[in-house]
């Protein structure tokens, strides 16, 4: 299920070396409607403003929901790496606008959703603010984040990131 979003980004595995820019990772998920089309549209929307450039993206992976109501559908998940001069707070606002534009209605915790965008890592920053915690809590425990993040980063860079944040006890 490898898809590309045009010339502005590459699919993990097609690059000769990790990018020197970026270091900002966004998790994507959807379990309502046309999940793949929603994720593709969200990636395009994130990069459309010019304030954010999508560098690399993972393939999409299916996963079972974690928590939430019984009977909800499986998720389609992925990760993108971006570069931006936006602050983490401004980037989060853009991500929430993108969610709303794709029909996201915030309701039950861990409930079904057309689109879920999570700011996973924002360079080397640790942020604890109302509505924004980076690195994303529990990200290293969730295979639906770890697998596509590993794909985008490559094994060596992924292990470096994992060790760095483990040493920081985050």
- 104 in active site: yes
Angle formed at CA 2 by CA 69 and CA 72, multiple of 5 degrees: 10
- 113 in active site: yes
The residues facing 119 across adjacent strands are: 26
- 116 in active site: yes
Which of 118, 142, 157, 162 is catalytic? The answer is 118
Q: Which two tokens stand for residue 68?
A: 């939430």
Cα–Cα nearest to 128, from 97, 98, 88: 88
Which of 35, 94, 113, 150 is catalytic? The answer is 113
Give CA separation, 45 vs 52, 64, 135, in Å. 10, 26, 23
* C-alpha to C-alpha distance for 44 and 55, rounded to whole angstroms: 12
Q: Which two tokens stand for residue 21?
A: 């820019």
CB atoms under 10 Å from CB of 114, counted, come to 19
Active site residues: 104, 113, 116, 118
């Amino acid at each position: 299920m490898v898809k590309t979003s045009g010339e502005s980004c590459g699919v993990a595995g097609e690059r000769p070396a990790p990018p020197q820019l970026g270091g900002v990772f966004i998790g994507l998920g959807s379990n309502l409607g046309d999940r793949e089309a929603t994720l593709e549209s969200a990636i395009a929307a994130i990069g459309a403003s010019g304030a954010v450039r999508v560098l690399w993206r993972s393939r999409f992976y299916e996963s079972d929901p974690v928590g939430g109501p019984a009977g909800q559908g499986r998720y389609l998940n992925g990760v993108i790496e971006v570069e931006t001069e936006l602050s983490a707070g401004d980037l989060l606002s853009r991500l929430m606008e993108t969610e709303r534009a794709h029909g996201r209605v915030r309701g039950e915790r861990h409930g079904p959703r057309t689109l879920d965008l999570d700011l996973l890592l924002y360079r080397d920053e640790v942020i604890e603010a109302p509505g924004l915690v980076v690195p994303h809590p529990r990200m290293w425990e969730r295979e639906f984040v770890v697998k596509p993040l590993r794909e985008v980063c490559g094994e060596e860079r992924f292990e470096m990131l994992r060790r760095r944040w483990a040493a920081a006890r985050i």
